[in-house]
Amino acid sequence: MSGGRTYYLTTPIFYVNDAPHIGHAYTCVAADALARFMRLDGARVHFLTGTDEHGQKVAKSAEAAGLDAQAFCDRVSQNFREMARLMNISNDDFIRTTEERHIRACQALWRAIAARKTPKGRDNIYRGTYAGWYAVRDEAFYGEEEITLGPDGARRAPSGAEVEWVEEPSYFFRLSDWQDWLVDHYEKHPERAAPAGRRNEVLSFIKGGLRDLSISRTSFSWGVPVPDDPQHIMYVWFDALINYITAVGYPETATGAFATFWPADLHMVGKDIIRFHCVYWPAFLEAAGLAPPKRVFGHGWWTVEGQKMSKSLGNFIPPRQLVEQYGLDPVRYFMLRELPFGSDGDFSHRAVVHRINGDLANDFGNLAQRVLSMINRNCASRVPAPGTLTPADEALLASARALHARLSADFAEQAFHRALEALWQVVAEANRYVDEQAPWALRKTDTARMGSVLYVLAETIRHLALLAQPVVPQAAAKLLDQLAVPADRRDFAALARPLVPGTQLPKPEGIFPRYVETAAPA
Ligand code: MSP
């Protein structure tokens, strides 16, 4: 495909200090649903995920594991690749910040920033000494006023991470000179930081005054060397953010992937890292003379059975366990349906089972199963031919046909929950229609009318299955197989190509099994 609409979206790159858990899977699933939606909608998509491998946190974890840092990263990075496969993530590239292409991009961006002046005509990068608080867990610097002293004598950042005093020679990025530009940027383009509540937090942080940012470290060596001064390695967040341009070929900007895909359409991130993406990142890019991303969305955090996930509680749920217990598509559906995207939520067994047995098995699964078995039994397994359509038939078809526009608007705003709610409203409407039209009774009185009703239902289910693909790709594919929809008629352009009467259908099979409790949950 050449020309046409493009869409570049990214997940955060994951620190390789830990095993993947539900929070990582969540970011990936949300971005994946969007990537799939955009591809089905005809866009040329570039979807990136990967691992963040430098910095003190990773260096310490490697040391604790008794491994050389690179060997440790190689091993843990692989776990994230496997998580992406497990969750059926359709990424086009997987970046690792220890790759040669990335080191080259970091050094080029550093040079580009250093070569240019701030809006106040000063050097963007200068040398000094950092003396202040640092939290290794967050890989972040904190001001004195942000630190609290706990009863245990530990000093903590607002995130709860312990901080330590750091004093070392460092290069600084003159962020303070970019304050007015950043305020103006978000006032002119409010859609660039979402949801609105997070944008307000970002703006008030910027307006509160920006301090220059330390962007190099000298007290350890696991990082990208600063050009012409390799005693310094780049601050891990400076290095990490650059992954988004490395992956599109930076420093080559005039041609190739960068020219096609930059600026990114969306960086999907968790709410904890919005400041890095909405304050530092656009300032670095603008300072280098590059365009800032079009949008950053900060989603909420999951608790598990009402509790924050933590090492001490040992309640990190590995994505594999979820998929084995509930099935992949039900987990994907739950994550995107259960809460307004952007809000925090709780991952509880009860809530998952409720969605599986309610929305998936009873509502959608049952609708498909009822209709397809009636066609199988009463229409010789062929798509029936519709007769003259009644207002009730037209109304249901109109609702199904209106979905694409509705979902496009919802996906454009990352309102996945609203998109799914809209799909399930049509599921409910179709279930009411089956009950009202009672095709099983028509079988005895008016088989032609029964054919029309089943046709209308099958065509509605085709719409639902096509549009559900981004969220439940495997289940939707199974359903489209059962409707004998050919592989080249599964994109959204094919919504306009109705089922052909007479098409032979395979034997129907359930797509969303009920969850049956095998033992009382612990
Ligand atoms: N390495 C940085 C990102 C650099 S991007 C240039 C990082 N990595 S992380 O592995 O700690 O976190 C990755 C993502 O997982 C973040 O977006 C974070 O918000 C998300 N989550 C971690 N725990 C989470 C929950 N409990 N719930 C939802 N998402 C959470 O930060």
Query: What element of type H or E holds 319?
Result: helix 319-326
User: 341 CB under 6 A from ligand 1?
Assistant: no
Q: What is the identity of the amino acid at 450?
A: M
Query: What element of type H or E holds 477?
Result: helix 473-482
User: 269 CB under 6 A from ligand 1?
Assistant: yes
Give the Cα-Cα-Cα angle 37, 41, 46 (nearest 5 degrees).
65
Distance from residue 301's CA to the centre of ligand 1 (Å): 9
Query: Which atom of ligand 1 has the smallest separation from the CA of 303?
Result: 26
Query: Which atom of ligand 1 has the smallest separation from the CA of 308?
Result: 26
Residue 120: is it exposed, middle or buried by C-beta count within 10 angstroms (0-12/13-18/19+)? Answer: exposed
Taking the model in full, what pTM does it have?
0.97
Q: What 3-state class would DSSP assign to 89? A: coil
Residue pLDDT tens, the chain, 522 long: 446 899 999 999 999 988 999 999 999 999 999 999 999 999 999 999 999 999 999 999 999 999 999 999 999 999 999 999 999 999 999 999 999 999 999 999 999 999 999 999 999 999 999 999 999 999 999 999 999 998 999 999 999 999 999 999 999 999 999 999 999 999 999 999 999 999 999 999 999 999 999 999 999 999 999 999 999 999 999 999 999 999 999 999 999 999 999 999 999 999 999 999 999 999 999 999 999 999 999 999 999 999 998 877 888 889 999 999 999 999 999 999 999 999 999 999 999 999 999 999 999 999 999 999 999 999 999 999 999 999 999 999 999 999 999 999 999 999 999 999 999 999 999 999 999 999 999 999 999 999 999 999 999 999 999 999 999 999 999 999 999 999 999 999 999 999 999 999 999 999 999 999 886 555
Distance from residue 347's CA to the centre of ligand 1 (Å): 17
The answer to whether 151 touches 91, Cβ cutoff 8 Å, is no
Distance from residue 342's CA to the centre of ligand 1 (Å): 14
Nearest to 288 by CA among 205, 173, 199: 173
Distance from residue 417's CA to the centre of ligand 1 (Å): 21
* Ligand 1 atom 21: residue of nearest CA: 23
